[in-house]
Amino acid sequence: MGNARTFILMAVMTALLMGLGALLGGRGGMMFALLFAGATNLWAWWNSDKAMLRQNDAVELTPESGGDLLALVRELADNAGLPMPRVYLLPTDQPNAFATGRNPANAALAVTAGLVRLLPRDQLAGVIAHELAHVRNHDTLTMTVTATMAGAISMLGNMAMFSRNNRGGGLLAMLVAPLVAGLVQMAISRTREFEADREGAEIAGQARPLAGALASIASAAGQVPNLAAERNPASAAMFIINPLTGGLRGLFATHPPVEKRIARLEAMDLPAQGISGFPRVGR
């Protein structure tokens, strides 16, 4: 159901993009918008991980600089049936994390310095397992394409504002199109987050540590700014918890309510396990 809903929402976003193109230039504009969407998505497919990591000033960890963390990621990746991703540290005090990359073979996992300092090992493992679930489900590509299309829709909406062919619809397009795109992006993100919580708990063999991690991250993320994310709010959906603060946090509500996520995790019936010796659930 989650995959079907995501497909439908992506189709809605594509239709919105083509509608804006038609408003700008009739049938020719619609075809231009479709080609533009294809080109931007192709760029995102090849370069999304590099762009996301660069925007967040990520530093790749080596065995010397991140030995314990790399060992934990390797253990969880093996349990999930995934190749070892590249692991990065983000130099921000806000506790958070995201995964990126076009497929599991080219995945990258990024955690913030604040996350490593704040969470005990079992909760950190839950967060990493959540991100690995995104990788296994190819959510990293889906969310990157969604963010790229949302940005394209906003740009075309602004162009429609100044089009001589819009017959008064440009202002409406400029206001409504980005709003609708944002709502669709939010709906896709929420669908994928619930699924990643469930699968992440299975990968880690425990649900309650991830629930505790979400509560701790949500509490701190609303107070500690993440300047890189504030500069690029369209990337907020990539993080495990909305990284934006203040007014932007409500405007870009890309995640399900953390209370609902915690309740679902606490309702899961998983046997208590240590960090080592996870039950194998890889596909």
The predicted-structure confidence for 105-150, as pLDDT tens digits, reads as follows: 999 999 999 999 999 999 999 999 999 999 999 888 777 777 667 7
pLDDT of residue 272: 53
pLDDT of residue 277: 43
Q: State residue 281's pLDDT score.
A: 34
pLDDT at res. 94: 96
What integer is the mean pLDDT of 71-76?
A: 97
64 is catalytic: no
As a whole number, mean pLDDT of residues 260-279 equals 71
What tokens were used for 16? 């919105």
Domains held by the chain: number: 1
pLDDT at 197 over 90: yes
How much is the mean pLDDT over the chain? 81
Question: How much is the average pLDDT of 4-25?
Answer: 69
| Amino acid letter, residue 46 | W
Q: Does residue 82 lie in a domain region?
A: yes
Q: How many CA atoms lie within 13 A of 206 on its CB side?
A: 22
Q: Is residue 272 part of a domain?
A: no
pLDDT above 70 coverage of the chain, percent: 72
Which residue among the candidates 131, 195, 199, 202 is catalytic per the annotation?
Answer: 131
Whose tokens are 């649900």? That residue is 207
Confidence class of residue 29 from pLDDT cuts 50, 70 and 90? confident
Q: Does residue 158 sit within a domain?
A: yes
Question: How many angstroms separate the CA atoms of 150 and 144, rounded?
Answer: 10
Q: Is 258 a member of any domain?
A: yes
pLDDT band at 241 (very low <50, low <70, confident <90, very high): very high
Query: Which residues are part of a known binding site?
Result: 130, 134, 193
Q: Are 160 and 230 in contact (CB under 8 A)?
A: no
Report yes or no on 283 lying in a domain. no
And the tokens for 33?
């918008």
Domain span holding position 75: 2-266
Distance in angstroms (rounded) separating the CA atoms of residues 269 and 275? 17
Whether residue 9 lies inside any domain: the answer is: yes
Annotated binding site for Zn(2+): 130, 134, 193
Residue 274 in any domain: the answer is: no
Give whole-number Cα distances, 177 to 1, 158, 168, in Å: 26, 9, 15
Report, as an integer, the average pLDDT of 54-76: 94
User: What pLDDT does 30 receive?
Assistant: 74
Within-domain flag for 271: no
pLDDT of 69 higher than 90: yes
